[in-house]
Amino acid sequence: MTDVLAVVEIGGTSVKIGFGVDGRPSDFARTYPTGRIRTAKPAADLAAVICEASAAAGLSPTAIVATVPGFLDRDFDTVLHAKNVPELNGHRLATELSAALALPVQLERDVVLQLLGETSAGAIVGETEVLAIYVGTGIGAAYLGSEGIFRGGGWALEIGHIPMRPPSSRDRPESLEHHASGAALAGAAERYGIDVGTAFLRTDIPALSEALALLIRDQAVAIVTALVLFSPRRLLIGGGVVEMPGYPRDELARQITQCLPRGTGVAAPPITYSTLGWKAAIWGAMAISGSAQRR
């Protein structure tokens, strides 16, 4: 019997579905608009999307691993807070999706799968004490220590929700995601009437350049905050924003160094950028399900 793991990566913009077949990632993948599950019955509609992708691939999944773009309860079932897909909030997504598909379902944070994928078959194979920061529509982080993924009290390292601006006497502080995520970048592109995919290439708009410089600075501040808390041996950075043409990786590294505490021997760990792209999530899903083969 073929072991087929369906891997579902739910994002604020799109839902990606791929497959691990007998411990290896399949080349097949499909992307659907997240609008397909922005409904009163998101689990049932997600099940329909998975069935659609499975039929297109000619595969029959034996298990599902799905990511949640937000706060997941310690029961690994209840979605506490998905800012970019609020229709998921309060749902016991694993239970509901399992009932709809009659298959076992595991939920995991998307950054955890990306990190485990890169340690399984990507840029940092076999390494531990790694801090991962991924910048996409939102911003997420995960830490892999010598004893496994750090969980804290449940929803640890939801770094995108770090307060980045002091509130007024009546307002809540604005978060890192508000200022430095892909959603913030899209907002800046709209303000200046440009294609978001070219934002880092448009050096001809001084006000945009200033806005992007602050965005990179905010990303660096958040990264250094996590570095000070975890003191990792390696920093892994990935996500759609940092893969955009012209993204200033050298400037980000400079800003990280500038934001670090001053002290003899205090330095940022080596920075590694993700290499597997979408397939990192599949490798990571197979790692947590126990179905991955050695590369």
Residue-wise pLDDT for 231-259, tens only, equals 999 999 999 999 999 999 999 999 999 99
According to the per-residue pLDDT averaged within each range, which of 10-14, 190-194, 262-266 is highest?
190-194
Q: What is the pLDDT of residue 173?
A: 86
pLDDT tens for 170-202 read 778 889 999 999 999 999 999 999 999 999 999
Backbone conformation region of residue 138, classed left if phi is above 0, alpha if psi is from -120 to 50, else beta: beta
Contact status, residue 120 vs residue 295, Cβ threshold 8 Å: yes
Region 259-269: what's the mean pLDDT?
88
Is residue 103 exposed (0-12), middle (13-18) or buried (19+ Cβ within 10 Å)? middle
Q: What is the pLDDT of residue 266?
A: 86
pLDDT tens for 79-112 read 999 888 999 999 999 999 999 999 999 999 999 9
Look at residue 294 and tell me whether its pLDDT is greater than 60.
no
Structure-model confidence comparison of residues 279 and 137, the more confident one: 279
pLDDT tens for 31-64 read 999 999 999 999 999 999 999 999 999 999 999 9
